[in-house]
Amino acid sequence: MISETNLDFEQVNRKPLKEEIFEVLHKRIIAGKYAPGDWLRQEEIASQLGVSQTPVREALDLLVSAGLAEREPFRGVRVMQLSAEEIAESYGMRLFLECTAAAAAAEIISEDHLQSLVKIIEQTKDLITLNDMSTQRHLNREFHLGIVAASGNSLLSKLYEMVTNSFPDWMLYEYMFRHPELLEASLDQEYQEHMAIIHALGAHDGARSARETLVHIQNLGGELVSYLGIPQELLKAKEVRDYQQLIIS
């Protein structure tokens, strides 16, 4: 049976078993207990957690859907291992898609949708410990997906979800797990940038919403350089030519 005792700090809540196992594995990945490229052995995990293999398999499917793992036919599931080129490509696409979505969302976002985004951000405000990072990551993704959904463009939402699954946000959290002195300042900056986007959306100002989103994603790009060693010139090469003028002018 899953317990806090045999999972160290990995406490689980009353959720469907596959979701409990997903949370456990999610935390282990962010904590660096599983490294990029490591195989997640279904039988081994089931034995460790004292559960059957069926919910473990379902949990692994959730990890794949969340972009933390990849399934290789006839081999199994392993922690996602992204090249610098792939990371740069996802960064460039996030810039283009999120700025476009924010500008469009500002024109039509409802008060209810705006308040749902505020609620997500407020939930992140007190999540400043290392053990909070898997929840922080989940809420962060929900916030960004919510902005793109507010654009009213379902195809844009589908494209964006594909892109976010190749963006290594979990690797940034894992870096902060190993460097806790960076955590509070980084999360506070993230909160302030998210609130700036919220205020721009609330003002129904498309250009401002795009600009605030641009600043936020470019700052994430700075973290890719500082924390993960992605070459700055590679990120710049993947930015869509003249995207700032196309989106913000």
Confidence of residue 1 (pLDDT cuts 50, 70, 90): low
pTM, whole model, 2 decimals? 0.82
Residue 87 has pLDDT above 90, yes or no: yes
Tell me the DSSP string of 176-208: HHH-GGGHHHHHHHHHHHHHHHHHHHHTT-HHH
Confidence of residue 93 (pLDDT cuts 50, 70, 90): very high
Question: pLDDT digit string (tens) for 15-30?
Answer: 899 999 998 998 898 8
C-alpha span between 157 and 61 (Å, rounded) = 21
- Mean pLDDT computed over every residue of the chain: 88
C-alpha span between 222 and 33 (Å, rounded) = 25
Which of 2-6, 135-139, 180-184, 228-232 has the highest mean predicted lDDT (pLDDT)? Answer: 228-232
Token pair listed for 238: 């993947």
Q: How many CB atoms lie within 10 A of CB 58?
A: 15
* pLDDT value at residue 107: 96
- Tell me which fold the domain 5-79 belongs to: Arc Repressor Mutant, subunit A (1.10.10)
Question: pLDDT digit string (tens) for 46-86?
Answer: 999 999 999 999 999 999 988 889 999 989 999 999 999 99
Residue 6 has pLDDT above 50, yes or no: no
Judge whether 5-79 and 84-248 match in fold: no
**Bigger pLDDT: 241 or 127?**
127
Confidence of residue 243 (pLDDT cuts 50, 70, 90): low
Confidence of residue 178 (pLDDT cuts 50, 70, 90): confident
* pLDDT value at residue 207: 95
Q: Determine the angle formed by the axes of helices 111-124 and 133-150, rounding to 10 degrees.
A: 160
Q: Could you state, in order of their start, the residue ranges of all structural domains in the chain?
A: 5-79, 84-248
Architecture per CATH, 84-248: Up-down Bundle (1.20)
C-alpha span between 15 and 234 (Å, rounded) = 42
**Residues of 145-161 as b/e, b for ≥16 C-beta within 10 angstroms?**
bbbbbbbebeebbebbb
* pLDDT value at residue 47: 95
Question: pLDDT digit string (tens) for 102-148?
Answer: 999 999 999 999 999 999 999 998 888 877 888 888 899 999 999 99
Residue 166 has pLDDT above 90, yes or no: no
